[in-house]
Structure 1
Amino acid sequence: MKKSVTLIIACIFAVSSYGQTIYESFRSIKLDQSRELKIQLPRNYKKNEDKIYPLIIVLDGDYLFEPVAGNVDYFSYWEDMPESIVVGVNQRKTREDDCRYDTAEFLPTLKGAEFYEFIGQELVPYLNETYRTAQLKIIVGHDYTANFINYFLFKDNPIFQGYICISPELGPPMGDRISSKLETSSDIWYYLATATNDADNIKKSLIALDEKLSVIENPEMSYLFDNFEESSHYTLVGKAIPNALEGIFEMYRPISKKTYKEVLLTLETSPYDYLVDMYKTTEKLYGIKRKIRINDFVAVSTALEKKENWSELEPLGKLAIKEHSDLMLGYYYLGMFYEQTGEPKKAMRAYESGFQLSEVAFLTKDYMLDKVNKIKEDFGW
């Protein structure tokens, strides 16, 4: 099992090498010093000049950047999350000072207050100006830095919408503050992780915090918690990062076989409306407008055929033509709609129109020609 996990992590690191990683030295006025940054841009970032990308800030970038960047590149390659810009802030010599808080109010103080302002007032604005960032921003931390990232959550309008807190060493009132904030937060993803072999004080505090957070009834907030078996304070990182990304981007993923069987086939409402609403929701959640996937069109059309809901093939076909005008998919759906509703001439013309376009999925020119010829034979044309 350990060998398998090691192999998976090695593959993830190998994948990250395909991204465009930039190393920068950023001069901070707030800190009165320079900070080393690692920046991974998405594949084909330069070619996709009109595309914007979520921004993921990784503290402890000297060791946490690579596993985060590798997972982001891997998941986005398979369209399980949007391509994203990942920025690591190296803190090997400064992390304790960067995360310092006072023992009275338990808020950032001295270098900690300066580092807080550096992230919010210098680094994020600089990245927004320099790169094509989307509205969605996520921040990642581990133990000291995982406690620190929560301070950004407490702002009235947080600059980060996603928080990946891996085994945080929480300050004394931090748990209560997090619980209070998440009760009223909207459009926030909060991920928390510990492990059975984590440091005892950390593990106990996080299990207690989970008991508070898991009963919060706030549909505008998404909370996820992991307590990994047989993992330590350090090895849990390799499990937490992919779990956190999967949870945050659950709505972004393609329609799975499970969703097809348990949702689409059992819907009492419109599968077509489900598809449209799904993409509207992801646009609202992640701030990214995207074309509807071929896979999702096929899943919905298969459900419509299974349920013999022929009427919805017409709007589905028109939507497919709008989204993928170069493919024969939309005209195939229109052809099926006309064929099943007793308009063979319109069906034949739709199939003929599709024949001239590019093949996709199971649709080939021979298949479309067969549909045309079958109608001609049936009606003697």
Structure 2
Amino acid sequence: MIKKTASLLFILFSFVGFSQKIIEKSLTSEILETTRNLRIYIPEGYEKDSIKNYPLAVVLDEEYLFDTYVGSAVLFAKKDKAPKQIIVGVSMEKTKNLDIGFNRTNGQLNAEARYFYEFLRDEVIFYMESTYRTSPFISLVGYGYSGNLVSHFLKENTTFINSFICINPSFSDFIGGELQSYNLGKFGKEDNTFYFYTNNSSSFSPEKQAKISRVQKGLKGLDIENFNVINDEINTASSISAIAEAVPRAMTKIFEIYSAISKEEYEKNIKDLAPKDAIYYLENKYLEIQFLFGTNLGIREKDIYAIENIIIEKENGDKLRDFGKMILKLFPSSPLGEYYIGRYYETGKMYKKALKYYKIGYGKMDPSDPNSDAYYENILRLGGQ
């Protein structure tokens, strides 16, 4: 079970600060032969940085989900748990559920729903990618029967959606056969990361709970590399509160790779690695963050310290220089790269080289940095002025 990430009260009242960042857009659709309203959230700082790209989230049922998703996205970005996102909420035709309708005898989408599906795929996403600076990472979010529609995007031959988020999903009776007919193995062949999130809840009818459970178990049993199945269980008496909980819980898992190394990640993936492999793990983590989310974080000092003991204590510290070079490549403005290279040379009693790197690293530091005096002690220890 996924732990609660943010309080419901915060999500409900966090919308005040971002209301001025919402763009209302009427998009003319050749496929639907009409216009649809879009609500577009542009994250803070978008205008100031003309190079940075942002993950795109396409939120269906915008009247239910848009504000909740945006509120969670703002919180996660402020807490450095997820990148800032560009979010588009899509209005839907609720009359007779035309946009999400499906044939009750075989589960296939009705003609109107197929048109809406194509509208999302070929017009909404195209408009957003051609108008705004989006990264390759795309999330598609739906609620109820819209969650069923989201699941149909799994059948696309091109894997352009990274996270499929089905909240309180109302799947068709034929969802099992539909999923089996899709070539889900294609996700395992991509050098990318994909997520499929569903939540179950004690507030659902027994029939709905059983259907979601079968979908969750079936997908989990496939064990496809790069395709992360997230089965969530929310114990609540209200399906409405399940929505408010499901959004941040889904975000916690989907952007897990973006977050700093947690104790759980360290214990599961890092602690038993050799120094060379630990360095590769950290380097690859930040290269993947940059590729997926368009965010060049450099490298968090917290993550450097997370693997420091492995580098120092294993193999007599022989990988300290490689560690320092990796930091310089990903975070050239940090003095830590020179520190570890200097420490490598000092350990090998090559003091002149060690002193050289300690001085270069110290030169990068702001004199007001509380760590500058401690760093300078490396220079004093080797008798350098």
Q: How does the TM-score come out when normalised to structure 2?
A: 0.87
Unaligned runs of 5+ in 1: none
Measured after TM superposition, the shift of residue 231 of structure 1 is: 4.1
**Which residue identity lines up with residue 292 of structure 1 in the other structure?**
I
1:154-206 residue CA offsets vs partner (Å, 9 max, x unmatched): 12114322110112111121222124437424043111111011133211211
When structure 1 is superposed on structure 2, of 206-215 and 298-307 the one drifting more is 298-307
| Alignment match of 2:284 (pick from 271, 277, 288) | 277
Q: Which residue is 1:10 aligned to? A: 9
Note if contact 2:275-2:310 (Cα within 8 Å) is conserved in structure 1.
no
2:189 is the alignment partner of 1:188: no
Aligned with 2:117: secondary structure?
helix
2:371 is the alignment partner of 1:357: no
Measure, in 2, the Cα distance between the counterparts of 1:134 and 1:327: 26
Measure, in 2, the Cα distance between the counterparts of 1:37 and 1:94: 18
Measure, in 1, the Cα distance between the counterparts of 2:129 and 2:292: 19
| Alignment match of 2:343 (pick from 321, 336, 345) | 336
Note if contact 2:60-2:92 (Cα within 8 Å) is conserved in structure 1.
yes
Measure, in 2, the Cα distance between the counterparts of 1:152 and 1:373: 62
CA RMSD of aligned residues (A): 2.8
Change (3 A) 1:328 1:288: closer
Q: Which residue is 2:190 aligned to? A: none
2:236 is the alignment partner of 1:230: yes
Q: Which residue is 1:205 aligned to? A: 211
Q: Which residue is 2:39 aligned to? A: 38
1:136-166 residue CA offsets vs partner (Å, 9 max, x unmatched): 2111111111111122221211432211011
Change (3 A) 1:83 1:183: same
Structure 2 counterparts to residues 237-252 of structure 1, below 5 A: 237-252=243-258
1:63-92 residue CA offsets vs partner (Å, 9 max, x unmatched): 201111111222122232222111111237
Q: Which residue is 1:115 aligned to? A: 116
2:257 is the alignment partner of 1:220: no
Measured after TM superposition, the shift of residue 305 of structure 1 is: 2.9
Q: Which residue is 1:143 aligned to? A: 144
Change (3 A) 1:329 1:96: same
- Greater relative contact order structure (CA < 8 Å, 6+ sep): 2
**Which residue identity lines up with residue 160 of structure 2 in the other structure?**
I
Query: What is the percentage of aligned positions where both structures have the same residue?
Result: 26
Give the aligned length. 374
Measure, in 2, the Cα distance between the counterparts of 1:256 and 1:179: 35
Aligned with 2:319: secondary structure?
helix
**Which residue identity lines up with residue 248 of structure 1 in the other structure?**
I
Measured after TM superposition, the shift of residue 263 of structure 1 is: 4.2
Q: How does the TM-score come out when normalised to structure 1?
A: 0.88
Measure, in 2, the Cα distance between the counterparts of 1:130 and 1:256: 36
Measure, in 2, the Cα distance between the counterparts of 1:294 and 1:194: 38
Aligned with 1:48: secondary structure?
coil
Measure, in 1, the Cα distance between the counterparts of 2:367 and 2:215: 49
Measure, in 1, the Cα distance between the counterparts of 2:89 and 2:152: 18
| Alignment match of 1:348 (pick from 347, 355, 362) | 355
Measure, in 1, the Cα distance between the counterparts of 2:122 and 2:240: 31
Note if contact 2:311-2:320 (Cα within 8 Å) is conserved in structure 1.
yes
**Which residue identity lines up with residue 332 of structure 2 in the other structure?**
S
Unaligned runs of 5+ in 2: 188-192
